[in-house]
Amino acid sequence: MSPSKLDLLQGTLDLMVLKTLTAMGPLHGYGIARRIEQVSGDEVLLNQGTIYASLVRLEQRGWIASNWGVSGNNRKAKFYAITVAGRQQLEEDSLHWKRLTDVMDRVLDLNNEPGDLPDAEGDPA
């Protein structure tokens, strides 16, 4: 495997799955995995098998629901769809994620511009 690819942070896969399902509508496991890989521009090191652990976790929490169905090329597959609770969760998690990345950005920028410290303190985030 290429060392330049990013290791997935704990919990980020769940968020990606939820977002993918909101954007694409019901999808099977392979579809979700491929979609994530495509969107990330193959930047993410994704063992496709791990997607199923994420799916079962999300389903047990009631954020997604699953149904056996038939795919476009006439193959039997399990289709996952996001639930209302899942949408709510996605909203919360996205917000949280954005705040976290904002903070990370600013902290990482600090090194380059030490003069910005008072500004950073004034920010409520």
Partner 1 sequence: MTRRLLARVWAFFFRKRRDADLEAELAAHLDFAIEENIERGLSPQEARREALAKIGGMQQAREKHRETRGLMKIDIVMYDLRYTFRTLGRDLGFTIAAVLILALGIGANVAVFSVVNTLLLRPLPFPDSHQLVWIAPPPTKCGLSCATYSTDAYDEFRTGSRSYQDVTGYFAFSTPGNLSLNQNGSIVPATSIDVIANFFQVLGVQPAMGRLLRPEDGLDGAAPVIVLSDAWWRRQFNADPSIVGKTLDINHQQATVVGVLPPSFDFGAVFAPGTKVDAITPLDLYGPPRDWGNIITMIGRTKPGVSLSQAQQDAAAVAPRMCWNNKRPDTCGSYKDGVVPVPLKDYVSGRLRSSLIVLWSAVGMILLIACVNLSNLLLARSTARSKEFAMRAALGASRMRIVGQLLTESFVLSAIGALAGLGLAWFLVYWLAHQGSVALPLLSTLHIDGAALAWTVLIAVVAAVLFGLAPGLRTAAGNLHESLKDTGAGSGQGRRNERFRSVLVVTEVALASVLLVSAGLLLRSFVQVLNVDLGFESTHAAAINAAYDDSVPGDKTGDLTAQKRAVIFQQMIARVEAIPGVQAAGISDYLPLSQNRSWGLPLPKGVTPPKKQIDGPLVYVVTPGFLRAMGTRVRGRDFAWDDGPHGQQVVIINRSYARFLAGLTKWPNNDAVGQTLDNGTPGGLQVIGVADDVHEESTEGDTGWQIYYPQTQAQPSGAQLVVRSTVPPATLANSVLMALRSLNPHQPAAEFRPLQTFVDHANSPRRFFMLMVASFAGLGLLLAAIGIYGVISYTVTRQTQEIGIRMALGATMGRVQRQVLGGTLRLAIIGIALGAAVSLAAAKLISSLLFATSPWDGITYVAVALALLAVAFVAGYLPARRASRIDPMVALRAN
User: Does 9 sit near partner 1 (CB under 8 A)?
Assistant: no
Shortest Å, Cβ 22 to partner 1: 21
User: Which residue lies nearer to partner 1 by CB, 2 or 111?
Assistant: 2
- Distances in Å between the Cα of 74 and the Cα atoms of 68, 70, 77, 78, 102 are 12, 6, 9, 13, 44
Nearest one of 23, 31, 66, 75 to 51, comparing CA atoms = 31
User: Which residue lies nearer to partner 1 by CB, 59 or 93?
Assistant: 59
**Cα 82 to the center of its chain, rounded Å:** 13
φ/ψ (deg, to 5) at 78: -90, 125
Q: Within a 10 A sphere around the Cβ of 22, how many other Cβ atoms?
A: 15
User: Does 99 sit near partner 1 (CB under 8 A)?
Assistant: no
Distance from C-alpha of 37 to C-alpha of 58, rounded to nearest angstrom: 19
Q: Choose the stretch contacting partner 1; rule: CB under 8 A; options: 2-10, 19-27, 60-68, 112-120.
A: 60-68
User: Which residue lies nearer to partner 1 by CB, 34 or 106?
Assistant: 34
User: Does 78 sit near partner 1 (CB under 8 A)?
Assistant: yes
User: Which residue lies nearer to partner 1 by CB, 56 or 100?
Assistant: 56
- Per-residue x/- mask for partner 1, residues 18 to 57, rule CB under 8 A? ----------xxxx-xx------------xxxx-xxx-xx
Q: Determine how β-strand 64-70 pairs with β-strand 76-82.
A: antiparallel
